[in-house]
Amino acid sequence: MKELILVINAGSSSIKFQLFENEPSDPITLYKGLIDGIYVDPKFVAKDAADNKLADEKLPADLPKSHDSALRHLLAWLQPHIHGRKIAAIGHRVLHGGLKYSEPVVVTPEVFAILEEFIPLGPLHQPHNLTPIRILNDLMPGVPQVACFDTAFHTAQPDLHKLYALPLEFTEKEHIYRYGFHGLSYTYIASALEELDAKSAAGHTVVCHLGNGSSASAVKGGKCQATTMGFTALEGLPMGTRTGSIDAGVVLHLMNNLKMDAQQIEDLLYKKSGLLGLSGISSDMRELHASTSPRAKLAVDFFTYSISRNVASLAASMQGFDALVFTAGIGENDNIARADICARLKWLGVEIDLAANNIRSGEPRKISTANSKIAVWIIPTNEELVIARAAANSVA
Ligand code: ADP
């Protein structure tokens, strides 16, 4: 009987899961789902690989509202669905591996202690990523748990590209580096591009991961050279509700002259800005495209302008590029944004076939013209598969 691999992606109020069958070629999805509203009104949804709903239920009201209850509920649901098969390993999405972890790691008590030290670097995510590791260690003792980091891919950046121009001794003491995020998505894209277009994958690629959170990375021969997110996932491209890069002097102004406190500034920069803040309408690209408001257009224009500017900057970090890849919710689905970004990059030799760009498909596809100097790809990302592969490797 083939062994199973469980993938857990836990946040402050939700746990996403995917169960894979550990095929020798590549893990295959059996079930996936989500428990959300963990601390309010917890709800469990599970689907099979073809998206058929298998469960859609509230957790019993008498259970304590906690990650522990949510994970117990998930394991109880899985039990009759796995027909006595063994969960051989569990892979976890973990925000931060610092500069220490450039690869996934099996979590021992020593590793767990190191990962806890990274909590100040990602206080909104890291504790919630670590909680299920601790709980599942108790519930399923002896099953290897593998931490897969959003930062790991970016540890390959040259040291120069990890710096801010702060006093060097301060940077080193306080660990204020450009860590970068979305690394699991970039890992997947690098591996997929190698299969789809080995020539581009061996060369210089700019990958745009455009979703609710957005970033872009320069990737050379499959390794990260530079990325738009930095010390936190606030830097870089404008996002659904996040500012992206902003003059740090603005933050000083908010504190010193407008007397805003840290919580108010955090709310402004993380939750009220980006596409939502500019448009005053929505953080969702679909709603912005559907709107006739000039502010919706302004938000979309700022987004595509910022991305094109950052793509050129990332290309400069590698002295040029051969391929451009779009991925994540907007990158995969938004033909309007893609066309606009590519039009702004025409001067660099980017030319797409508009008809190919307009085709809706969940498959990877090339949308550049035969004459384009730059190969342009749409590649649906699959972060869970990257985690499942790493967990499977731990028991290979
Ligand atoms: P997350 O960062 O939460 O994983 P996703 O990668 O799922 O986000 O991206 C979510 C975003 O993708 C939505 O906010 C929406 O703006 C965008 N999106 C999804 N489908 C479409 C579509 N068909 N057209 C345009 N934008 C889309």
Can you tell me whether residue 24 is helix, strand or coil?
A: coil
Same domain, 208 and 137: no
Task: Output the CA 22–ligand 1 centroid distance in Å.
Answer: 29
Whether 291 is covered by a domain: the verdict is: yes
Question: Does the pLDDT of residue 1 top 90, yes or no?
Answer: no
Sign of CA dihedral 172, 117, 382, 335: negative
Domain CATH for 328: 3.30.420.40
Whether 39 is covered by a domain: the verdict is: yes
Name residues whose C-beta falls within 8 Å of residue 203's C-beta, 6 or more positions apart in sequence. 220, 221, 321, 322, 323
Number of domains in the chain: 2
Between strands 145-149 and 323-327, the pairing is unpaired
Catalytic (active site) residue 261: no
Q: Which amino acid residue places its CA nearest to atom 23 of ligand 1?
A: 333
Pocket lining for ligand 1, CB < 6 angstroms:
211-213, 240, 284-286, 328-330, 333-334
Q: 21 is in which domain, residue-wise? A: 4-149
**pLDDT per residue as tens digits for the range 159-218:** 999 999 999 999 999 999 999 999 999 999 999 999 999 999 999 999 999 999 999 999
Closest Cα partner for 183 from 98, 271, 303? 98
Same domain, 230 and 144: no
Q: What is the pLDDT of residue 42?
A: 95
**pLDDT per residue as tens digits for the range 269-280:** 999 999 999 999
